[in-house]
A and B are shown apart, each in its own frame.
Chain A
Amino acid sequence: DVKVTQSSRYLVKRTGEKVFLECVQDMDHENMFWYRQDPGLGLRLIYFSYDVKMKEKGDIPEGYSVSREKKERFSLILESASTNQTSMYLCASSTGGRDRGYTFGSGTRLTVV
């Protein structure tokens, strides 16, 4: 089975901290994605990557950056965490091409205090 592993299930960080959310997939997928999930808003795309060192902005990239130095790992970085970044963060991966479903990780629930 394809596995997408997010390093933490729960995180609590202080306002202004730099936060790293890590995601690793083990099936050699080309594409990786970061979404945030909020009640009433559904899943919103933050960033995605279709190759190593490649990244594309999604719908809500402000306040975030990403890093993909290796194919299996896609990191989401909150440069200076703010309370409005409290959310559930979901990582996903897929094989190349447009008609491919995702495999999701279990999510990281981040609370910024």
Chain B
Amino acid sequence: GESVGLHLPTLSVQEGDNSIINCAYSNSASDYFIWYKQESGKGPQFIIDIRSNMDKRQGQRVTVLLNKTVKHLSLQIAATQPGDSAVYFCAENMGPGQAGTALIFGKGTTLSVSS
């Protein structure tokens, strides 16, 4: 698999490799984080979320890791497939109170999977 530094805009991998997409978040008070996938011509779709009382959460072929010390979030995709090609966004909630219902999004990483 290929590991990337903090927010590279693009990531290219071979089918079957593991992909790691990184994200740095901005708000120490954020306590909820989400990864979204956006395919061309579509709105973003929820992939996986994690709350700040957790370090790791696994879904189907995806794992999210949270490091609150350095305000870092990563998405790992196992056995990447061509259908995983998309733009991936991390998001954090905005802050306390009602404002926290809104999410702040990262700039996104475009994942390209070649066969």
Chain B hits for A42, CB < 8 A: 89, 105-108
Distance in angstroms between the alpha carbons of A93 and B51 in the assembled complex = 19
From known contacts A48-B101, A104-B44, A106-B42, infer whether A41 and B107 are also in contact, taking CB-CB under 8 Å: yes
Nearest 8 CB-CB pairings of A with B: A104-B43, A98-B100, A42-B107, A43-B105, A99-B32, A101-B46, A48-B102, A31-B101
Q: Mark A41-65, 1 if CB is under 8 A from B, else 0.
A: 1111100101000001011000000
Interface SS of chain B: mixed
Chain B hits for A104, CB < 8 A: 36, 43-45
Given A58-B102, A99-B49, A101-B46: 14 more A-B contacts, CB < 8 Å = A33-B103, A40-B9, A45-B102, A48-B101, A48-B102, A56-B99, A90-B43, A92-B43, A96-B101, A98-B32, A100-B101, A103-B46, A105-B43, A107-B42
Distance in angstroms between the alpha carbons of A100 and B106 in the assembled complex = 17
Check B74 for interface membership: any CB of A closer than 8 A: no
Between A and B, how many residue pairs show CB distances below 8 Å?
66
A interface residues with partner B (beta carbon < 8 Å): 4, 31, 33, 35, 40-45, 48, 50, 56, 58-59, 90, 92, 94, 96-107
CB distance from B98 to the nearest CB of A (A): 5
Tally of chain B residues near chain A (CB < 8 A)? 27
Check B84 for interface membership: any CB of A closer than 8 A: no
Q: Is the CB of A50 within 8 A of B101?
A: yes
Q: Which of B42, B45, B89, B101 makes the CB contact (< 8 A) with A98?
A: B101
